[in-house]
Amino acid sequence: MTGVNLWIKYKVIGIIHTPFKTPKGTPIQPKGAQGAEGIVEVFPEYTQGLKDLEGFSHIILIYHFHLVRQTKLLVKPYMDNCEHGIFATRAPPRPNPIGLSVVRLIKVEGNKLYVKNIDVVDGTPLLDIKPYVPEFDTPLEEVKIGWLKTKIHKLPQTKDDGRFIYSK
């Protein structure tokens, strides 16, 4: 591919701390993690970038699935037993193992963000933070959820069951 940089580097800007010490048993989405609290520790050199963040009720965390060992293009996602293309799921073993979660921001203290409804494994590397803004992030037109339409009711009780291969 001419003119395209095939190698991209990202800087880890912090670490996400949660009560979930292993992937197995971790909620799979923030809606399934109601009440789960965590601390997003931003490295000191990025603290200045948190200015004015406390005015937002929710933030988008973008992070690296650091425990995923392999990429899969077809997966059986957590709420189904049929294979789907990885891009039709939010499963971790992606070509670029990047995750995102919209969490409730409770407070900002220095370089620490106290959050609620966190669905991330403890020690996950943080890549970026963005404010959640409904006018930006909520589609204006009708939303369809594909194969999940008949499975979404399982979300509150579904946890990571270890079906994806993780490193130590």
Delineate the domains of the chain, giving CATH numbers in brackets.
Answer: 14-70+92-134 (2.40.30.70)
Angle at 51 between CA 47 and CA 52, to 5 degrees: 150
Q: Is 137 left (phi over 0), alpha (psi -120 to 50) or beta?
A: alpha
Residue located via tokens 């946890």: 159
Distance CA 58, CA 61 (A): 10
Distance CA 60, CA 12 (A): 15
pLDDT of residue 61: 98
pLDDT of residue 168: 45
Per-residue pLDDT tens listing for the chain (168 residues): 566 777 889 999 999 999 999 988 888 888 878 899 999 999 999 999 999 999 999 999 999 999 998 999 999 988 888 999 999 999 999 999 999 999 999 999 999 999 999 999 999 999 999 999 998 888 878 888 788 888 888 877 778 777 776 554
130 in Cβ contact with 52 (< 8 Å): no
Structural element, H or E, at residue 161: none
pTM of the model: 0.88
pLDDT of residue 97: 94
Distance CA 136, CA 15 (A): 26
β-strands 74-75, 124-131 pairing:
unpaired
pLDDT of residue 15: 98
